[in-house]
Amino acid sequence: MGFFSSIRARSEDTAIDKDKTEAFKQQHRPIQTRQRLPIKLPNANEVGSSAGEEWRAVKGAVKSSGNGWKAKKSTLKWHQWLAVFFPCFEWIIGYDWRRNLAWDLLAGCSVGFMVAPQGMSNATLAGVPSVLGLYGIVPQGMSYATLAGVPSVWGLYGAFIPVLMYSVFGSSRQLAVGPVAVTSLLIGNGIKKVVPGSQFITDPNNLDSFQFTVQKRYNRSVTQLAFLVSILYTGIGVLRLGFLIRFLSHPVTTGFTSGAAVIIGMSQFKYILGYNVPRKDTLHEQISVLVEHGNLFNVKEFGMGMSLLAFLICLMVLSKRYPKRLFWLAPLGPMAAAVIGIIVVVVGRFNYLGAPIKVVLNIPKGLPGVTVKDWLPFQYVDTLVPLAFIVMLVDMLESTSIARALARKNDYKISYDREIIGLGVANFFGAAFNSYTTTGSFSRSAVNNASGAKTQLAGVFTALIVMAVLLFLTPVFALVPYNAIGAIIIAGCTTLFEYKVAAQLWRTNFRDFLCWLAACLGVCFLGVELGLGVSIGLSLFLYVLETAFPHLAILGRVDKTDLAASTKQFAGTAKTVPGVLALRLDAPMYFGNVQYLEDKIDSFLEEAELDAREGRAAPLEFLVLDLTPSSHIDSSGCHTIGVELAARLAKKGIQVVLAGPNSKVLRNLERSGVLDEVGREWVFSNVADAVDACAALPKVRVDGAGSSSGSEDGRKPDLELKLGKDAAVKPSV
């Protein structure tokens, strides 16, 4: 008996006139005209223990993977073997010198001229000498060294050796690595808490005898941190644990970078005001210390710094407004600001030591020295290891997201594991040659790609420019004024504040907006590490909260289709079948939500029973559970379906029907005995088949008390009905 036969029989009971019946028949096709989709049920004799089956699956995957590698390695040529360990050979072999060399040279020079001042500034934020930013990338590298609290030259070091190593071991062709602002801030705030006296150093480039000793310990801790980060990078890449970055959602990362941008910009505003004060971790503390030292305000420094800041912002606006013709303005901004600052200092003939315009002054000349001896022993290992993990996690997320976007834009694929290993090797050699932690940079990678970089050779040219600066131009960059460094960093921070993302999240998903806001405000008012931890915790809590209270939808058949859809979403189109309640569970079933799901299902059942008693609907005979959205089910979920629902409702004369479970869910239902409790004949591949089978059976319940007019065997749908008369294959049961 088909779907329309049951509808016709029930229409006679409710006195539906003939015209309405004919109209209804035109909207629905009889089930005999639709091919049924059989579902393959697990055989009880074939289902082993969960642990044994999982272990066999793992061994099979490993074996097949090994066989695939054995088959592949026999066909590899010598240069392909080299590319397995040195990804650079993928582009070195067959490099098109006529087509690609000019573009790689242009991109490398563009990034090189951009980075030096900025890297030196970030090194200062990290608390190390600014020259470490150059061993990071010229004006930009100097600026980032300032952020990290190290001498400015460390920013240059970070753009030299690590960039060369990434060109050899990295897999992204356009990614530009080096010192970045967020990492520099993390290092600066983290290291100063463990090195006694470092919080009182305001200028790591010019130190007295006591500060020199403290700065030496600080620099050693920064080197050890870079070494630890490299070990974590390499270990995660080798063990293929890159999935850890998924715990940093997009709202959390953008909120974190936005809050960091505010903290970074405020920490550098002291250079614009013309006086140097100890750096603080939070926004309100930074504002307080600036107000307290307001008597040190320098009008000349302020005028020069604000002018350079306005100049940089104008270049960025023009570059963004006219991307085809003036894209090159933004990359040249940091170098132009540094050069203008040097010219003002030289032409003005300021006294560099007691002057209205303060300059970097001390930048060592030459290539970086070897710092392997500083790796061991660890003096602050209990603090450095957690900090290294945070730095690595943030850097890995930033770098891999940039690399993925660039690969997609340029139509090639990257290996995430090799990318992570490449970053680990770059940081390992950086730690060996006087550099602090480096990663992929948003701004420099964008410039590299816009300038036409084709391969990692562009990074080699960038490193050569930095090397030339280290060998010949450090005396010139020693005259860069601090207000120029502050302007470079503040201008860069304007691109880090993701206000557009916040506005979009506000409109689309308030939960994600809360995560963004928690990350941003947490970093601003609680500190970088605590703010990041709070935002990640809130993100995970909201996710658990959402899965603990999942959505349930009542399903009905859509007119003129074989589809089942929510009666609320498709009101007036999706119609329920009398005596059948179909519910879709929009979440996996696990211990955290099964009680809520059971309570919600009971509330739907009580409402259906009330409607039946008052004559508004037919007595309920079938409860169809659509498990299609449920990716997995644990033992608590199996217990809920088998005992709390199937066995309990059977006493009331209500049959539980399962629809759309995947193979993993089916195995768990079989192992727990739920299929036997429900009945294997009551498991269907989709909701439409389940509802058809329920509607085609003769009416059994005559009242709401669960009394039955048919035998138990009469409740079992025939297999031909379940699969359709034309189905050739029957499920194994």
How many CB atoms are located within 10 Å of the residue 471 CB?
11
Strand segments (E) across 42-168: 130-134, 152-153
DSSP, collapsed to helix, strand or coil, labels residue 586 as coil
Which letter does DSSP use for residue 244 in this model? G
Q: Which two tokens stand for residue 732?
A: 């194994």
Which letter does DSSP use for residue 373 in this model? G
The pair phi, psi for residue 611, each rounded to 5°, is: -60, -35
Ordered by start, the domain boundaries in the chain are 76-248+309-496, 552-723
DSSP, collapsed to helix, strand or coil, labels residue 475 as helix
What is the rounded distance in angstroms from the CA atom of residue 63 to the CA atom of residue 187?
Answer: 43
The per-residue pLDDT for 655 is 93
Confidence of residue 231 (pLDDT cuts 50, 70, 90): very high
The pair phi, psi for residue 574, each rounded to 5°, is: -90, 120
Confidence of residue 705 (pLDDT cuts 50, 70, 90): very low
Q: Is 173 exposed, middle or buried (0-12, 13-18, 19+ CB in 10 A)?
A: buried
What's the rounded mean pLDDT across residues 451-479? 86
The per-residue pLDDT for 121 is 57
Q: Which two tokens stand for residue 404?
A: 């993925």
pLDDT per residue over 33-81, tens digit each? Answer: 445 556 666 664 544 444 444 434 434 443 444 444 444 555 666 656 6
Ranking 30-34, 302-306, 456-460, 549-553 by mean pLDDT, the lowest is: 30-34
Closest C-alpha among 309, 364, 372 to residue 340: 309
| Residue linked to tokens 């009945």 | 679
Residue at 363: amino acid letter: I
The pair phi, psi for residue 657, each rounded to 5°, is: -125, 135
Q: Is the peptide bond before 475 cis (omega within 30 degrees of 0)?
A: no
What's the rounded mean pLDDT across residues 324-351? 80
pLDDT per residue over 80-101, tens digit each? Answer: 667 667 788 888 887 888 888 9
DSSP, collapsed to helix, strand or coil, labels residue 523 as helix
Bridge partners of 658, per DSSP, are: 625, 683
pLDDT per residue over 238-275, tens digit each? Answer: 888 877 777 778 888 889 889 988 988 888 888 888 87
> What counts of helices (H) and strands (E) characterise the chain?
31, 11
Segment holding 582, helix H or strand E: strand 580-585
Instruction: Report yes or no: 315 and 333 within 8 Å, Cβ to Cβ.
Output: yes
317 vs 76, which has greater pLDDT? 317
What is the rounded distance in angstroms from the CA atom of residue 29 to the CA atom of residue 702?
Answer: 28
pLDDT per residue over 151-197, tens digit each? Answer: 877 878 888 899 999 998 988 888 989 888 888 888 888 888 888 87
552-723 is a CATH 3.30.750.24 domain: yes
Bridge partners of 36, per DSSP, are: none
Closest C-alpha among 171, 484, 163 to residue 341: 484
Closest C-alpha among 732, 637, 661, 672 to residue 49: 672
Q: Which two tokens stand for residue 153?
A: 């030259």
Confidence of residue 116 (pLDDT cuts 50, 70, 90): low
Ranking 113-117, 128-132, 690-694 by mean pLDDT, the lowest is: 128-132
The pLDDT mean for the chain works out to 78
What is the rounded distance in angstroms from the CA atom of residue 315 to the CA atom of residue 491?
Answer: 10
CB within 8 Å of 96: residues ≥ 6 apart: none
Measured at the CA of 727, the angle between CA 725 and CA 728, to 5 degrees, comes to: 125
The per-residue pLDDT for 299 is 87
Instruction: Indicate whether this model's pTM tops 0.85.
Output: no
Confidence of residue 626 (pLDDT cuts 50, 70, 90): very high
Strand segments (E) across 97-253: 130-134, 152-153, 177-178
Q: Which two tokens stand for residue 512?
A: 């994600």
CB within 8 Å of 407: residues ≥ 6 apart: 172, 173, 413, 414
What is the rounded distance in angstroms from the CA atom of residue 634 to the CA atom of residue 647?
Answer: 18
Q: Which two tokens stand for residue 583?
A: 């519910």
DSSP, collapsed to helix, strand or coil, labels residue 177 as strand
Confidence of residue 426 (pLDDT cuts 50, 70, 90): very high
What is the rounded distance in angstroms from the CA atom of residue 675 to the CA atom of residue 666?
Answer: 8
What's the rounded mean pLDDT across residues 18-35? 42
What is the rounded distance in angstroms from the CA atom of residue 576 to the CA atom of residue 607?
Answer: 14
What's the rounded mean pLDDT across residues 423-439? 91
Q: How far apart are the first and last CA of the chain?
A: 23
Instruction: Report yes or no: 496 and 180 within 8 Å, Cβ to Cβ.
Output: no
603 vs 695, which has greater pLDDT? 603
